[in-house]
Amino acid sequence: MTAPHTPLTPLDLGGRTALVTGAASGIGRACALRLAVAGAKVRAVDRDAPGLEALAAQAERSPGLRGTVEPYALDLTDLDAAEQAAAGTDILVNNAGLQLVRPIEEFPPDVFHTVLTVMLEAPFRLIRGALPHMYAQEWGRIVNISSVHGLRASAYKSAYVAAKHGLEGLSKTAALEGAPHGVTSNCVNPGYVRTPLVEAQIADQAAAHGIPPERVLTDVLLKDSALKRLVEPDEVAEAVVYLCAPHASFITGTSLVLDGGWTAH
């Protein structure tokens, strides 16, 4: 049976509800605004309530926004609340993350646990909360913001790398289970993005590698990238919204890599 041809038309997410985690800054903020431009009603989730209010104010001032951005203050370590927040969601963007750069023997176990909770267990619970609605309407989009570190490892990032590798597997499993119900699940894998999370890494990386902070960007973060610049959050948001478009309905269970050639080595 041949699938019907879908003409390329401007993306219209009017009537769709999107949930974006880690929405107060960086990639999450860019995704929330881009989805709202496309017409979605965006549930912007973050534990940073002032950051969410600033996002909502920015959305109100932004020209061309056809949707809305609604702040939803939530700490994703409250897993039951996370699952409940995802009910009724048409589009789920799992983006929230945190980072600590330490050798394994010095890595605090409590931080390792928190990273895995926020970056792997919470996405599982959010997907679990969103799927009943998606299945009932036979349409849904799950986009997991992974990383090059979902495909490659780096020293001193045991928790982050473990979480991102786990997220890749979770995303593929959701794709296989969701396919009969019209639900796609994919990862977006950027290299280093110009976000507060990356900026905060520079001092940690300098200490871990014993080099001055000004050398971290060129000698560590972008060492394996063919393109010697950071990815911009808006570039990641465009990849996310592309996966929500009608012409991306056959893309599922895969990883869309935005790494400037890092993994080409």
Residue ranges for the chain with pLDDT beneath 70: 1-9
Q: Is the full-model pTM beyond 0.85?
A: yes
For the chain, list the domains and their CATH numbers.
17-194+231-252 (3.40.50.720)
Residues designated as active site: 160
185 φ, ψ to 5°? Answer: -145, 125
22-70 per-position pLDDT tens digit:
999 999 999 999 999 999 999 999 999 999 999 999 999 998 899 999 9
**If DSSP codes are grouped into helix, strand and coil, which group holds residue 163?**
helix
115 φ, ψ to 5°? Answer: -60, -45
130-152 per-position pLDDT tens digit:
999 999 999 999 999 999 999 99
Q: Which of 194, 191, 198, 201 is nearest to 263 (CA)?
A: 191
- C-alpha 111/C-alpha 117 separation (Å) is 10
Q: Which of 139, 140, 159 is nearest to 149 (CA)?
A: 159
**If DSSP codes are grouped into helix, strand and coil, which group holds residue 148?**
helix
